[in-house]
Amino acid sequence: MSNKIRWGVLGGGGDSLIGVLHRVAASMFDAYQLTGAVFNPDFDTNVAFAKEIGISTNRIYKDFDTMVAEELKLPESERIQVFSILTPNFLHFPMAKKLLESGFNVICEKPMTMTYAEALELEALQKKNNNIFALTHTYTGYPMVRQMKKMIAEGTLGEIQKVDVQYYQGWINPIIHDKEKRSTTWRLDPSKSGISCCMGDIGVHAYQMLEFITGMDVKSILADLNHLYDDNQMDIDGTVLLRLGKYTKGVLRASQIATAEENNFTVAVYGKKGSLKWEQENPNYLYHLEDGEPIKTLKPGNAYNSKLSLDGTKLPPGHPEGIFDAMGNIYKGVAKAIRNQVYDEAEFPSMRDGVRGMNFIETSVASHKEGNIWKEL
């Protein structure tokens, strides 16, 4: 009998980029077996997609509720062990809640829920049932992001003084200026996306990343968001000032109207003794700067990197790795947790990241609406 983890997928069918990303990631370390799915709300389309990617259709279900009910009828030794939720935002909470209540482990796309209150409810459920819950902030899986985290924790930079995170995209620019088009995308529909578009989609990535790498919690924020049009309810651009401590400040800049930008996510952390910079579009380079010294460029796979970084490296030095590999590292960490193996808590973002992310999104929107004021998290 296969010792692979039995894996179920919700959403991610057809030409979904996120679906391909998760399937490739789950296959990387031979830890998962795609066992069942509801890829699409239309059952015929659902079955056709299963056949297209070459998996058995005997556990392709007509809908989510049927899938959970039928899986619970199976002996525990045959039942799906972990589900990935790859649906639009508004389905994350009800699906995750039912899965946690039913005893399943969960891997969820971000943002975790539509509201902070929902996030707290999931957190309580997870603690009660002791499920594994991972949130796919994919960029934490890059080896050089993990190296950055370890270097900061070891005091390489000294006391942190400034954090600067930027996430610029331009994808919504052709849509937002057309009134008809902007009413058709679910990202700009609060009933499907939540109260925020830009901060809820990419700003929360930047927020999670800065807390992940620094090991510090943001204490308070001041947000200035941009909706661009009076009839658009959702932010599509914004700047957030951050206070991590009395003398540790930062700035988070996120935009979906940064014309012609693709996925320009950059992180810079400045300490008393030095600084570190990383760019998502060139993820295999981590730059270490010190006063009076030449810039050092660190790369994956080399022995000078941390154990955590090297564990997430699949190829010898000089062989580029990318976002599929980063997601694969998150799935690898979840597999260790499910199998009760020893793992580093930095191997996958957790429920805590989801709760803090939702708090950040709601507080950012409130700060803006209340006149761009400081709000505590």
Confidence (pLDDT) at 263: 96
Cβ atoms of 349 and 142 closer than 8 Å: no
* Banded model confidence at residue 1, pLDDT cuts 50, 70, 90: very low
Query: How long a stretch of residues is the chain?
Result: 377
Condensed to tens digits (0 to 9), the pLDDT of residues 202-219 reads 999 999 999 999 999 999
Handedness of CA 299, 301, 307, 312 (dihedral sign): positive
Question: What value does the mean pLDDT of the chain take?
Answer: 95
- DSSP lists the bridge partners of residue 289 as 275
Across residues 40-47, what is the average pLDDT?
93
Scored b (16 or more CB within 10 A) or e, 134-150 reads bbbbbbbbbbbbbbbbb
Across residues 332-347, what is the average pLDDT?
96
Pick from 219, 210, 288: nearest CA to 254: 210
Q: State the number of CA atoms in the 13 A half-sphere of 336 facing the CB.
A: 14
Superfamily for domain range 5-138: NAD(P)-binding Rossmann-like Domain (3.40.50.720)
**DSSP string of 257-316?**
-STT--SEEEEEEEESS-EEEEETTEEEEEEEE-TTSPPEEE-TT-TTS-HHHHHT--S-
Across residues 275-284, what is the average pLDDT?
97
Q: How far is it, in rounded angstroms, from Cα 208 to Cα 210? A: 6
How much is the pTM?
0.92
Across residues 184-209, what is the average pLDDT?
93
Instruction: Out of 3.90.226.10, 3.30.360.10, 3.40.50.170, 3.40.50.300, select the CATH number for domain 142-311+351-369.
Output: 3.30.360.10
Condensed to tens digits (0 to 9), the pLDDT of residues 108-128 reads 999 999 999 999 999 999 999
In the chain, CATH 3.40.50.720 covers 5-138
How large is the C-alpha radius of gyration of the chain?
Answer: 21
Pairing mode of beta strands 275-279, 264-271:
antiparallel
Q: Which helix (H) or strand (E) holds 190?
A: helix 190-193
Confidence (pLDDT) at 174: 92
In the chain, CATH 3.30.360.10 covers 142-311+351-369
